[in-house]
Amino acid sequence: MAEKRTKILIVDGYNVLRSGSRYRSMRAQPDYTFEKYNQVREALISDVAAFAGSEYESVTVVFDAAENAESAGKVQKIGRVKVMFSPYGSSADKVIEKLAHDARERDHEVLVVTSDATIQDTVFGGMVTRMSANGFSMEADDLQDEAKSDNQARTKRKATVADRLNSETVNKLKALRDRLS
């Protein structure tokens, strides 16, 4: 029996926010401010957590902060999701390439969510696969739709035996009941 491989999910954060239709529509709102951008980023992290479920052992979202002199590349955990801003001077692409390469070297299955052609050319192959930013966006929409339908109140129809019997049988049973009373 084949051994089950560890599954790793790596998401190119800003690439998905720019390219995924779900996030483009969130960003397109007229009051797009720094706070709104943080909300969209949080929505992505929440969607990544929902998508990963229990299928992925390690989940990382990498945002590009190469030009931010204050970025040290530290990892912050939000639930099961590791969130990382690339360190100053290093792009998110380089971080993602290293994470994918290291996971592949450890014989892990890796899914990278990005539409970045450079990353695709560099890391894919072997046990590293890709999902496009828009593909992920559509998956997140589907997960949200499923969650909404699961959370909607369901009214159960009251089902009695009489509801499942034809009227002739119901009438015979009523007559029998009335005779015995």
- Tens-place pLDDT, residues 98-125: 999 999 999 999 999 998 877 766 666 6
The pair of three-digit structure tokens given for residue 171, joined into one six-digit string: 């009438």
Tens digit of pLDDT for each residue in 16-48? 999 888 888 887 766 656 788 888 999 999 999
Q: Please report the pLDDT score of residue 161 as a whole number.
A: 66
Q: Look up the pTM and report it.
A: 0.77
| Three-state DSSP state, 71 | coil
Please state the domain count of the chain: 1
Is the residue at 169 inside a domain? no
Is the residue at 181 inside a domain? no
State the distance between the two ends of the chain, measured CA to CA, in whole angstroms: 67
**115: domain CATH number?**
3.40.50
Average pLDDT over residues 53-81: 94
Is the residue at 161 inside a domain? no
Alpha-carbon span 178 to 72, nearest angstrom: 84
Is the residue at 41 inside a domain? yes
Q: Which structural domain range is residue 35 located in?
A: 7-156
The contacts of residue 173 (CB under 8 Å, 6+ apart) are 165
Q: Please give the DSSP secondary-structure letter assigned to residue 125.
A: B
Q: Please give the DSSP secondary-structure letter assigned to residue 69.
A: T
